[in-house]
Structure 1
Amino acid sequence: MRILLWHVHGSWMTAFTQGSHDYVVPVLPDRGPDGVGRARTWSWPGSVVELAPASLREQDFDVVLLQRPHELELVRQWLGREPGGELPAVYLEHNTPDAKPCTQRHFLADRSDIPLVHVTQFNKLFWDNGRAPSTVIEHGVIDPGARYTGELSRAALVVNEPGRRGRIVGADLVDEFLPVAPVDVFGMRARHFTDAHTRAAGVAPDRLVGYSDVETQDQMHTELARRRAYLHLTRWTSLGLALIEAMQLAMPVLALATTEAVAAVPPAAGEISTDVDRLVRRLRSFLAEPELARACGLAARAAALERYGLKRFLADWDVLLDGLTR
């Protein structure tokens, strides 16, 4: 099958493109949001090719996988075809509702010709999907391996743009953990956030460190696994792939019991609660008892491998895609 899709979410795309299909991603000279092309920090197979928009009209595609509302118009402009009509289409919704949880209608709610795929059961429940045929295909993650050493008595979290996103991603909660252990933040503009915060709050620079320049996912995974525990402090989001990856690394997890995290993180993996004090106390115990941390990390890895394995993920997508083209 030949699939057109945009490079929107690098980690999700890395898993999806491990399938048996041919994947075409648009590329623009500036590699902006509508033409990022192939990944540079993830390893993608040769079955993923870049094409400029001007070349797409002459191409044959079996299906287009949409991930942002305006991509419907891009298909019309670049291919001269109507998604869902002349060209089979499926829409992948990565996110939770961002305006009115429980009552926000999805923009496809009044259409029945484009299946709507959510990445978590929580998302499907909280969006008003209307009459759009809706289903859930949970994440799949390429197993990075059990790399956990926990050799550094520090906590780690992965979050993009924590300074801009603030309370949504729990940036305000990081301070709660600093009296117990230093915290390392990985992700886009993480260093900007940590530098600004240490200056404003008078935090010692070595207690809160940002890492925005890790070159590859593989390098980041290795660095994460050296930290004693992984923090998942996001209040309102779809299930972060970084959390699943940390679990597969065999890191013990301290997570807010919000959105889909309550289904993804078993109690044996560490601690999951809306009581931040409980998470802080658990981090203290992990620092004092490295073997306890290691045991929780192994439980986290077993749970993540069972639920978010790549084979199940690709098989679920194949079933849906086959149904679109029959």
Structure 2
Amino acid sequence: MSSDTSRPFDPDNASDVPPLADKVVVVTGGNGGIGYATIQHLARHGAKVYMAARSETKAQEAIERLHAEGLAPGNGQVLWLQLDLSDPVLAQKSARVLLAKEDRLDVLINNAAMPRGPYARTKHDIQDAMMVNHIGPFVFTMTLLPLLAKTAVNPASDVRIVNITSGGIAFLKRGIRFRNRDDFNDEHKWDIIPGPSLARYLNAGAGRSKLANVLFTTELQRRLDEAGVPILALSVDPGLVRTGGVENDAASQPPGISHVMSLLIRALWTPPTRGAFTSVFAAAAPAVRQETERYKAAYLLPPGRIGAPPHPDARNPVLARELWDTTERLLREMGIDWE
């Protein structure tokens, strides 16, 4: 049941999230924030969840915390999968490790993101936020796609790919392109409405990468439909969520601003446990599969309501194909293929 109906979606309700004991799920960036809460909800319904994260230490600490907070025997299993999205070679390697471990994959949630930081480029000469937030997840997803498709062949299966984006794309300029490496590396300093935290979020290219998440979802669904593969791809805007990163950003501001921002965030922003509701809805709510045509490539708002991406470029299927084609070309230049 979604928030389109009279009762809001609640992942603790057995009618909203069915038993997931036979499901295998991957959540990237799951050792904190929304990803952590998403794993907690899904594992409590019995799913076997891979916490895909770069640091084993942080992942194991998070898994211990999950158990301490009520991930009891009989619930699902949570396992660490090493994943570094800053290098597509390593992202593909991680996917291949999983392919060797599992004979099914029901849900992939591309949750990990790099929202903050000064402009920088990776060793592949790609802006780091575009690499971590788009190119790395693209490679990871496409390498896992054969296993996802194999699972989807079973008539009883319900395979989904969920990409986490941000409503912050609304503040980007119009007319963004993804024609070449220069477009991927555009620093776009003057693309947004001014504001200290928002500027840091978007000026480093993260806003453009979150726009890419929506476009990737659109084009992926089109290709899946064209190939007759019954996988659902959805993009999720979790809304304003009080993650550790957000609170750290507020704390890093000058004293007066920091105090006001912290008060507003604590008062108005959603805690991660609730902030994960939309991700869980996209991953596991029966309503999504029951109304397949409605939810194909849907843009979901909290806590599971179908909306429209708040930027016209995110609704452009031609731009989605341009992004896909350029991503493939850049990856070939890096020597990476998944065919």
TM-score, normalised to structure 2's length? 0.36
Structure with the higher fraction of residues in strand conformation: 1
Structure with the higher fraction of residues in helix conformation: 2
Larger Rg: 1
TM-score, normalised to structure 1's length? 0.37
For CA contacts below 8 A with separation 6 or more, give which structure has more relative contact order. 2
